[in-house]
Chain A
Amino acid sequence: MPLADKLVSSFLAFELDINFQSPVHNIRTNAIKNFEKLGFPSKKLEDWKYTSLNKVLKEDYTLFSKKKNVLDFKNVKDFFLDNTESYKIVFVDGFYDPFLSQTSHDGIDICIMSAALTKSKYSSIIKKYFNTSIGKNESFSQLNTAFSKEGAYVHIPKNIILEKPIEIIHFATGNESALMLQPRNLIVIEESSQAEIIESHQSLTENPIFTNSVTEIFVAKNAHLDYYKLQNDRLSSSLIDNTYISQKRDSNAKIHTFSFGGKLTRNNLNYFQKGSYINSTMKGVTIIDDNQLVDHHTLVDHTRPNCESHQDYKGIFSGNSTGVFNGKIIVDKIAQKTNAFQQNNNILLNDKSTINSKPQLEIFADDVKCSHGCTIGQLDQDALFYLRARGIPKKEAEALLTYAFANNVLESVNIPGLKSRIKKIIANKLNVKLGFDL
């Protein structure tokens, strides 16, 4: 049975299993109807022109893992940050793992969606925010909404600056021969609060994993959010990551996406600016090879005056890999004095690798500064020669230049433990033993 049909037909069973009376029952039912109408996107759609899902969708995925698997911290320690105190929300095969997690209810809520969706004390927040930023025509997000049950729930009330970052990790143990996961996260940062979040998806075996994740983020007045997505999964895993960020005035939200692993990764990153003096930043580094595909789709909707957005995506492609960048900036009529910048730089290291880039601007206001730049090129041969003339072997010299190319994205990572981890991954990816601590 095709995956889409299988999903639709198992919806009833899914709802029976959990609470029918849940306040989100109607939302789920509508969402599955929408998904049934839309189906999975095909290459005929402009937004999926360069990304084919055929290979990913043809696997026979188990939709819900049957049993809870217990992981030993020793075995997965490497996937957590080194020497960094943090809150942790950990899921294993879609189930919450209380042993690996470290949550909090001490004035803040760092816990899980299944609790938020069922307990009455959270119902006002759920009512106010849940599923409010998702478009009707986005089939993956609709699908996720229909099956929304578990994920991270973070609510930071007014005037709190989180001392520790929050780590959200989704493990897949390979219990099932192929597994589909649909985590649903809700992050609400109230007025003048600050938080740092790191999200990653990690498969532990070679069994195919298909993750369709939705994260809704709400950043209130004067609040700050730093969100890091670390995508370094195995080559058997695919990820569709849908993120929606709604910002209120004077707020600042940054999203860093580091894509190194996975067979197919699609990032749909949507910013909605709902006030003045907002700053939105999205940065990304993509280093992939073999048959990997990473697709970044960003949307920034400037609806109010005096806001800024900055985008900076770097990509390095070797082997048979494919990179896609599609950035869209919309500036409404009344969004005067908007500053919007978009940059996408790419390096192709191999003749079999492909890059498709489409930086778009849609501007309806006249007093704005908007620009976008896109380049495709190679490592500078002169620089390479310079390094080699000084006794640095070719591979290391190339790695150094690659690192330098990606560095201005890395520079803005504020968590030292995360930065050193990413450096390690890059060195690993480029097959060199360098610390890059120059």
Chain B
Amino acid sequence: MAYTEEELKKELETKEYEYGFVTDIESDTFPIGLNEGIVEAISKKKEEPQWMTDWRLKAFKAWKEMKEPKWANVKYSKPDFQKISYYSAPKGKDKYNSLDEVDPELLKTFEKLGISINEQKKLAGVAVDIVMDSVSVATTFKETLSKKGILFCSISEAIKDHPDLVKKYIGSVVPQKDNFYATLNSAVFSDGSFCYIPKGVRCPMELSTYFRINQAGTGQFERTLVIADKDSYVSYLEGCTAPSRDENQLHAAVVELVALDGAEIKYSTVQNWFPGNKNGKGGVFNFVTKRGICHTNSKISWTQVETGSAITWKYPSCILKGDNSIGEFYSIAVTNNYQQADTGTKMIHLGKNTKSTIISKGISAGKSQNSYRGLVQINSRAENARNFSQCDSLLMGNKCGAHTFPYIEAKNKTAIVEHEASTSKIGEDQIFYCNQRGIDTEKAIALIVNGFSKEVLNNLPMEFAVEAQKLLEISLEGSVG
């Protein structure tokens, strides 16, 4: 039977979220609400030094004065910040010496998610740091990495073990008072990943963090800090899922990347938080601040595949501070049912000969809204800056929306900036062309969607590309081959 776009649409609407299970493990959860006491308690729980506690309190003080941003093209009832528990951790031993000691329930969870920690250790050669609810539960391959001098651990360990590095770089890219959610995160972040690549080292494997919200009524606030010292290279992966729940859960993360002279950071995200059910109930509010700073001759490349979350509000950005630095942004955002995404990037050109590339692909289906919002800013000192932006949207059905809000600001006459955007649907003539050549409609749609996203998928590391493809399949099953 011929597979039509109508059927694809129907299938999209009814497709269930695969990662919606809840793991039944005891956890240690703070009472709901937010005040100075909670902030201090989180800090104490993590056995943090005084400077960190002060840093958190300072952020909390600033946050109380701030108002939620309203400019994004998304609609939602605002979360009640006093009804969220700001700390939740799977109960158990404080520290695992080997994977055998990890709660088998927990390991099962990861197997269900498709990341068997043991297997991955043997086969894939990916070092994984897993953050469940608020706490990092396992880090693999630590030893192999430490031989090279690479530090890869949870951020709370880093605060204890490498305070100098953390003190120097935390908040240096995303200042404490950057925005409402970043400030909130600065006050209450519970864990996250920390990574430092020493001078001249090329990290031999992909580093990976897996985030999962498990406990009900909690918010997840993790903080990631990646520092690539001079002439080093690292490829970093991040994945996320959450159980299906009727209420909205809040995820407000901060990711800071520092690429020192000549360094290169590749940061890839596959975001698959629970998007809410097909009536738009529940789902994760994903309000994330991600930013990287590029020093001379360095490069930061963001790749993201956004398929989950009820609401996504996320702008991975690059500050191209050093001369000859390069920023890249590749994104696929898929929205379905009642999902809303307002995502894009900022490229701030400060140094000479800086280059940036933005490729953004939006696919909207169901009753979803998908927005691209980006800023390209060429400052007056940025001689010979170059930018190329392309944002394409694909619409399926007339109940969804695609929006583009690019901001382009140039203050230097040598700047060359190009921006182009298009919106289209899968053309009948495109399908007809394929049909004519013996490709049935289902395969044709697959071919077209795949071709549409190819530029971005190609930029994912091998291991992740497989997962990303799988995710696209979940979100748009039947259309991606």
Give the residue of A334, A336, A355, A358 whose beta carbon is less than 8 angstroms from that of B406.
A358
- For B422, give the chain A residue with the smallest CB separation: A371
A57 adjacent to chain B (CB < 8 Å): no
Q: Give the distance to chain B from A372, nearest Cβ to Cβ, in Å.
A: 5
A106 adjacent to chain B (CB < 8 Å): no
A348-B410, A363-B393 are known contacts. Are A373 and B420 too (CB-CB below 8 A)? yes
List the B side residues contacting A370 at CB < 8 Å.
422-424
CA separation between A329 and B108, bound complex, in Å? 50
- For B365, give the chain A residue with the smallest CB separation: A366
Q: Give the distance to chain A from B335, nearest Cβ to Cβ, in Å.
A: 13
- For B416, give the chain A residue with the smallest CB separation: A377
A355-B410, A356-B407, A374-B406 are known contacts. Are A361 and B416 too (CB-CB below 8 A)? no
A159 adjacent to chain B (CB < 8 Å): no
List the A side residues contacting B401 at CB < 8 Å.
362-364
Q: Which chain B residues in 396-426 approach chain A with CB under 8 Å? A: 396-425
Beta-carbon contacts of B378-400 to A below 8 Å, as 1s and 0s?
10100000000000010111111
A268 adjacent to chain B (CB < 8 Å): no
Judging by beta carbons under 8 Å apart, are B417 and A363 in contact?
A: no
Give the residue of A349, A365, A371, A373 whose beta carbon is less than 8 angstroms from that of B398.
A365
B71 adjacent to chain A (CB < 8 Å): yes
List the A side residues contacting B425 at CB < 8 Å.
366-368
- For A330, give the chain B residue with the smallest CB separation: B403
Judging by beta carbons under 8 Å apart, are B398 and A348 in contact?
A: no
Q: Give the distance to chain A from B286, nearest Cβ to Cβ, in Å.
A: 22
A353-B413, A354-B409, A363-B393 are known contacts. Are A372 and B403 too (CB-CB below 8 A)? no
A378 adjacent to chain B (CB < 8 Å): yes
List the A side residues contacting B404 at CB < 8 Å.
359-362, 372
List the A side residues contacting B411 at CB < 8 Å.
351, 353-354
Judging by beta carbons under 8 Å apart, are B412 and A363 in contact?
A: no
CA separation between A351 and B384, bound complex, in Å? 11
A348-B413, A365-B395 are known contacts. Are A374 and B408 too (CB-CB below 8 A)? yes
Beta-carbon contacts of B35-71 to A below 8 Å, as 1s and 0s?
0000000000000000000000000000000000001
Beta-carbon contacts of B172-216 to A below 8 Å, as 1s and 0s?
000000000000000000000000000000000000000000000
Judging by beta carbons under 8 Å apart, are A374 and B419 in contact?
A: yes
A359-B419, A361-B403 are known contacts. Are A376 and B395 too (CB-CB below 8 A)? no
Chain B contact residues: helix, strand, loop or mixed: strand
Tally of chain A residues near chain B (CB < 8 A):
36
A72 adjacent to chain B (CB < 8 Å): no
- For B411, give the chain A residue with the smallest CB separation: A354
Most chain A CB within 10 A, of B378, B380, B403, B421, is at B421
A333 adjacent to chain B (CB < 8 Å): yes
Beta-carbon contacts of A183-225 to B below 8 Å, as 1s and 0s?
0000000000000000000000000000000000000000000
CA separation between A334 and B398, bound complex, in Å? 8
A120 adjacent to chain B (CB < 8 Å): no
Judging by beta carbons under 8 Å apart, are B406 and A359 in contact?
A: yes
Judging by beta carbons under 8 Å apart, are A368 and B409 in contact?
A: no
- For A347, give the chain B residue with the smallest CB separation: B413
A437 adjacent to chain B (CB < 8 Å): no
Judging by beta carbons under 8 Å apart, are B395 and A363 in contact?
A: yes
- For A361, give the chain B residue with the smallest CB separation: B404
Judging by beta carbons under 8 Å apart, are B418 and A351 in contact?
A: no
CA separation between A348 and B410, bound complex, in Å? 9
A68 adjacent to chain B (CB < 8 Å): no
Judging by beta carbons under 8 Å apart, are B415 and A369 in contact?
A: no
Q: Give the distance to chain A from B339, nearest Cβ to Cβ, in Å.
A: 15
CA separation between A267 and B420, bound complex, in Å? 23
List the A side residues contacting B412 at CB < 8 Å.
348, 351
List the B side residues contacting A333 at CB < 8 Å.
398-399
CA separation between A365 and B413, bound complex, in Å? 38
List the B side residues contacting A367 at CB < 8 Å.
398, 425
List the A side residues contacting B395 at CB < 8 Å.
363, 365-366, 368
A370-B422, A374-B419 are known contacts. Are A363 and B408 too (CB-CB below 8 A)? no
A350 adjacent to chain B (CB < 8 Å): yes
List the B side residues contacting A378 at CB < 8 Å.
413-414, 416
List the B side residues contacting A361 at CB < 8 Å.
393, 402-404, 421, 423
Give the residue of B380, B402, B409, B416 whose beta carbon is less than 8 angstroms from that of A355.
B409
Judging by beta carbons under 8 Å apart, are B403 and A350 in contact?
A: no
CA separation between A108 and B394, bound complex, in Å? 48
Beta-carbon contacts of A28-47 to B below 8 Å, as 1s and 0s?
00000000000000000010
Judging by beta carbons under 8 Å apart, are A369 and B424 in contact?
A: yes
Q: Give the distance to chain B from A53, nearest Cβ to Cβ, in Å.
A: 19
- For A367, give the chain B residue with the smallest CB separation: B425
Q: Give the distance to chain B from A379, nearest Cβ to Cβ, in Å.
A: 10
Judging by beta carbons under 8 Å apart, are B393 and A360 in contact?
A: no
A357 adjacent to chain B (CB < 8 Å): yes
Beta-carbon contacts of A321-337 to B below 8 Å, as 1s and 0s?
00000000000011010
CA separation between A356 and B376, bound complex, in Å? 10
Q: Give the distance to chain B from A333, nearest Cβ to Cβ, in Å.
A: 5
Q: Give the distance to chain B from A306, nearest Cβ to Cβ, in Å.
A: 15
List the A side residues contacting B380 at CB < 8 Å.
351-352
A333-B399, A356-B408, A358-B405 are known contacts. Are A368 and B424 too (CB-CB below 8 A)? yes
- For B423, give the chain A residue with the smallest CB separation: A370
CA separation between A372 and B378, bound complex, in Å? 20
A350-B413, A366-B395 are known contacts. Are A376 and B424 too (CB-CB below 8 A)? no
CA separation between A295 and B380, bound complex, in Å? 20
List the B side residues contacting A373 at CB < 8 Å.
418-421
List 19 additional contacts besides A356-B408, A363-B401; criterion CB under 8 Å.
A348-B413, A351-B412, A351-B413, A357-B419, A358-B405, A360-B403, A360-B405, A365-B395, A365-B398, A366-B396, A368-B424, A368-B425, A370-B423, A372-B419, A372-B420, A374-B406, A374-B408, A376-B416, A376-B417
Q: Can you give 29 A-B contacts (C-beta < 8 A)?
A: A346-B410, A351-B413, A354-B409, A355-B409, A357-B407, A357-B419, A358-B405, A358-B408, A359-B406, A359-B419, A359-B421, A361-B402, A361-B421, A362-B401, A363-B401, A366-B425, A367-B398, A369-B424, A370-B424, A371-B422, A371-B423, A373-B420, A373-B421, A375-B418, A375-B419, A376-B416, A376-B418, A377-B416, A377-B417
Which chain B residues have a beta carbon within 8 Å of chain A's beta carbons?
A: 71, 378, 380, 393, 395-425
10 residue pairs, one from A and one from B, having the closest CB atoms: A366-B395, A376-B417, A374-B419, A348-B413, A357-B408, A371-B422, A366-B425, A370-B423, A361-B404, A364-B401
